[in-house]
Amino acid sequence: MNGAELLIRCLENEGVRHIWGYPGGAIMPVYDALLGSSIRHYLTRHEQGAAFAAQGLARTTGKPGVCMATSGPGATNLVTGIADAMMDSVPMVAITGQVPSAMLGTDAFQEADVIGMTLPFVKHSWQLESADEIPEVVRDAFQIAGSGRPGPVLIDVPKDVQLALTTGEPLACDSRNDESAPDAVEVARARDLLWHSERPVIYAGGGVRIAGAWNELRAFAEATGAPVVHTLQGLGGVPGDHPQFVGMLGMHGSRAANMAVQESDLLIAVGARFDDRVTGKLDTFAPGASVIHMDVDAAELGKLRRPHASLKGCLRRSLAALAEPTQCAPWRARVDAWKTEHASRYDAPFDSIYAPRLLRDLCEAAPRDAYVCCDVGQHQMWVAQHWKFADPRRHLTSGGLGTMGFGLPAAIGVKTTHSDATVICVSGDGSIMMNIQELATLRRYGLGVKLLVIDNSALGMVRQWQELFFNGRESEVDLSDNPDFAEVARAFGIEAIGIDRADQVPDAIEAFLAAEGPVMLHARIDRAANVWPLVPPGASNSDMLEPTATATEPDERLEPQSV
C-alpha cells in the first residue's frame, strides 16, 4: 500500500471513527485513501470549523479528535483551533498535507511552515520523511495527545510520502496514562491543613473533566463538607444544583463564590491553574488562605501561587486520599447565607427578552444531559452563571484562548459523536458570523443541532468594557447592520424562529426543543444589557462591580458601584 493508505489504516487501528476536514492538492492521496474506509469524514466549510468539530468529540469523550487539511492556507486555517486546544488541554491530532519533500524551502505553491508556526501550540509535531515512519508516528501521536495533561499534536505529511509504497503495518495502540499516586509526605501535609482549617473552599477547574474525576470530586466535597466553586472550564464537576456548589468564581463569577474564596483560610485547588480571569489581582486573591494544589502537570504547581501542599499525579487518587471530614459546618452556614442573599433574580421589569431568564428557562426545559456549546462573549458568561450543569463534559466553551466562532462547529462535532443527544449551541450575533458557513454542514448531514443566537446588535462584551472603562466611548462595536439571522438560517434550509419579546419566550423554547432537525432560535435582546457582577481588569475579586439597585427599562444607564 502507499503511505496515504497506511495512514488511514493506522487511524482505524486507533479507533478513529470520525474525521473533520477539507481537501486540497497536497493531501489528495489521503482523501483518496478514505474512500472505502470505515472512517466517516465530515466536510466542514472551513478548516477552522474542522478543528473545532474535532474538539467537540475530544471534550466530550476524552479521546483525541482528528482534523485534516491541505498545505498552505488549509494548514494555517487550522492554527487557531490547534492553539485553542492547547490552551484548554484538549487532545487532538491534526493532520496536514505538505508539498513534496524535494520542494520544501522553495516557496512552492501552497507551501507553509506549519511545523514552525504551530510550535508554541502543540505538545509534539512531526514532519514525515518516509512512509515507513507512519505507524510509529501515529501510535505516538495518539499516546502523547491523550496522556498526562492532554493537548494537540500535528502530523505534517509531504505529498511524496503519501504516495510512496511501504510494507508497514499499524502498531498496537499505546494507551498509557499517568495514574501515579501523590507523594505521601505531601498527602500528610494536606491532611494536616484540612484538619486545622475552619473556612475551606474547593476551587475546581477543567482538570477535573480531563481526568474524569468528577465522581471523586463530589465524594471529596461531601466528605469534607467544604463549599465548592468552579472555573468556567470546571462547571459541572459538582452539579449546579448541589447544595455545596456556590457558583463560578472570578471576573464574572457569583458574588457568593468570590466572597467565599476571599474569606477562606484554605483553598483546595483541584485541576485549576490560577488563571488571571479567576484570580483578578493575584496578590489579593484569597489573601488569608493556605493552598493545597492538585494537578497532573508539575509545571502548574507553584507557577502562580506557591502551595503549602503539592499533590502531583492522578486527580482521582489525590482526591480519594484526602476525603475526610473537616470542622467547617459554621462556615458552610455562612456561605449558604451569602448564596441566598446574592442569588440571581429573574424578575426583570421590562417587556424585552432578559437573556439570563431566557437561559434559565431553557436550562429547566432542556434534558438534564443536554450538551451546551458556547461561543465567546456576554452570552458565554450568562450561560456559565445561569445554566445548572450536571456533568463537566456537557459544557463546552473556549476558555483560555476565548475564540469567537467556536460554538457552532464544536456542536457539530458533538452531534456527530453523540447522535441521540440534545446538542444546543449558544452564540452571539458577533460570534455566529465567525463560522456561520457551518450552517451548510448542519444541513448537509441533517445534524439536529439547536442553535440559539442572542442578538444585541453589538460586540456586547467589548461594548460593555468601553462603557465602563473607556468613558462610554464606543469604537467599532456596532453590529446594527446584522442580517436577520432567522432568514439566513432558512436560506440554508434550516428551520428558524425569531423572537424579540419576553412573552414569546415560553412558546419559542417549546418549539425549539421539539424540532427534530437543525433549528435556530434568534432572540433579539436590548443593546444595553450587561453582564453582572464584574471584577474590573487588574482589580481584586473583592472589588466587584454591580448595577444600581433599580432599573425600569433595559436601556437605562446602569452606573457600576464597588461593593
Residue 432 cell numbers, joined:
455566529
Cα angle 114, 120, 122 (rounded to 5 degrees) comes to 75
- Residues 6+ away with beta carbon under 8 Å from 543: 280, 535, 536, 562
d(Cα 224, Cα 314) in Å, to the nearest integer?
19
Annotated catalytic residue 159: yes
The radius of gyration computed from the CA coordinates of the chain, to the nearest angstrom, equals: 24
Annotated catalytic residue 109: yes
d(Cα 277, Cα 253) in Å, to the nearest integer?
10
d(Cα 364, Cα 362) in Å, to the nearest integer?
5
Annotated catalytic residue 110: yes
Annotated catalytic residue 47: yes
Q: Is the peptide bond before 533 cis (omega within 30 degrees of 0)?
A: yes
**At 172, phi and psi to the nearest 5?**
-60, 140
- Residues 6+ away with beta carbon under 8 Å from 333: none
- The gap from C-alpha 84 to its chain's centroid, in whole angstroms, comes to 9
Do 69 and 22 form a contact (C-beta atoms < 8 A)?
A: yes
Strand order of the β-sheet with 65-69 is 40-43, 18-22, 65-69, 92-98, 152-158, 124-127
Q: Which of 1, 28, 87, 110 is catalytic?
A: 110
d(Cα 130, Cα 134) in Å, to the nearest integer?
8
Q: Which of 5, 14, 47, 263 is catalytic?
A: 47
**Which residues carry out catalysis?**
47, 109-110, 159, 461
